[in-house]
Amino acid sequence: MPEHQSLPQGGPRYHKTLFLLSALFLFCLALYMNMTAALVTQVNNPIRADALHYHTYAYNLHAYNTYSGASAKYGEAIVPDAYRPPGFPMFASLFFGTDFPVTHTLIAQALILTLALTLSYILVSTMIGRVPAFIATLLAVTSPHLVVSNSYYLTESLFSSLLLLSFILFSYGLKTNKTVCLWLAGLAFGYASLVRPSVDFFMPAYVLMLYLFLPKGSKRITLYFALSLFVIPLVWKLRNIVHFGPGGDSQIIINSFLHGTYPNFMYNGDPATYGYPYRFDPLIPQASQSLGHALNYLWDKAALNPMEYLLWYFWGKPTTLWSWQLIQGVDIFTYPVDYSPYFDKPLFIYTFLFHFYSHFVTVAIGMAYSVWILLRILQKRLDLRQFEPIVVVCAALLIYITFMHIFVASFPRYTIPLRPQLYIVVLFCLFSLARRYKARSD
């Protein structure tokens, strides 16, 4: 395992007090920023588009005990469907017995993210050192995109919390040989896959990483982890098979694929269609009939200008995915806002400016180091035990999400939940380089 950052001089009581104070500071800062974003931000028509879908599903779960996107308000029959994944609506439905279900959902997701970030610092500090863990957590706590996600009735905040909890419990379980942590990590990630199914195909790699990290003869632990990982999404898959057959409801996958087929997210290069090109495309109804139709649609377009589509898919989409500006939104805001603490509160403004000007460098370092780790692992013939688990799983997720969104819509909103993993990789990289430089100088 890599060496940890050395601590300042002082006795054990001094180190413990300093550590507790730093954890308390991060908790208070995260609580203040997340709760302020959740309660003070004034979103213009907050229950719209995706948020309206989630709200309808959550209400139907509460009122009719049926997972359906249909609206009784408009006389639609409340019948089961699977167009939207159930993770966030199931979470939001818990608050429909209260007077303000939307507000209470925002408060709850802000609290969960605050606790996840604080726990991340406490556990990750035992893995990569207190100083890099503190800075990485501080960056995540002040990340404008992540803070603003608590203002919306959307998946980003909850998804980020579940991913982070899974990774830190996974890595801590490996470090301390606590099998229960591995089981909890599997359950957290399994539920995360119901919030955002984009991580479904990461699950086999997650199991493989555990197997490679563990000593030989630990197959039972790997099996138990796999069971905890797959049990929650398996229930959802079985439900869909019962209602819709083996094929399930694949419309959202087809739509996501088609939405990513427009270079620079414009229809025929028209800036007026930016962000929503599919709304202007008369061929979309036919192309969205099946995945086969969608593939043929892309093939016909790419055949007319193959170089444009090659550049879009292998350069444009990855760089767009990690860009600062949200495609379907304004700056850091997914939906327009009438007021935000980023308009006039100094703490929010200054942290915004820091992250804005450092974003490109941070992403470049994080992705470059993630690729370097992958190449080193391949060079070592998949011998993972000389690497820090938390860094490997974070780097693996960054690469996976980037690669996966080559095939579907690469909206920058989809990388907001990955900010904590990005900062862990970046800080581990920088401190590793600093230690090597110091060792050579000595």
Contact yes or no for 374/396 (Cβ under 8 A): yes
Share of the chain above pLDDT 70, in %: 97
Per-residue pLDDT reduced to its tens digit, 244-296: 877 666 788 899 999 999 999 999 999 999 999 999 999 999 999 999 999 99
pLDDT band of 76, cuts 50, 70, 90: confident
Per-residue pLDDT reduced to its tens digit, 310-339: 999 999 999 999 999 999 888 999 999 999
Per-residue pLDDT reduced to its tens digit, 173-210: 999 999 999 999 999 999 999 999 999 999 999 999 99
Residue 19: burial class (beta carbons within 10 Å; 0-12, 13-18, 19+) = middle
Ordered by start, the domain boundaries in the chain are 12-441
From CA 85, how far away is CA 373, in angstroms rounded?
Answer: 32
For the ranges 21-30, 291-300, 420-429, which has the lowest average pLDDT? 291-300
**Residue among 345, 329, 294, 293 nearest 412 (CA):** 329
What pLDDT, on the 0 to 100 scale, is given for residue 9? 53
What pLDDT, on the 0 to 100 scale, is given for residue 73? 78
- Token pair listed for 436: 């090597």
The contacts of residue 305 (CB under 8 Å, 6+ apart) are none
pLDDT band of 72, cuts 50, 70, 90: confident
Per-residue pLDDT reduced to its tens digit, 380-392: 777 788 889 999 9
Position 411 pLDDT exceeds 70: yes
Q: Is 337 helix (H, G, I), strand (E, B) or coil?
A: strand
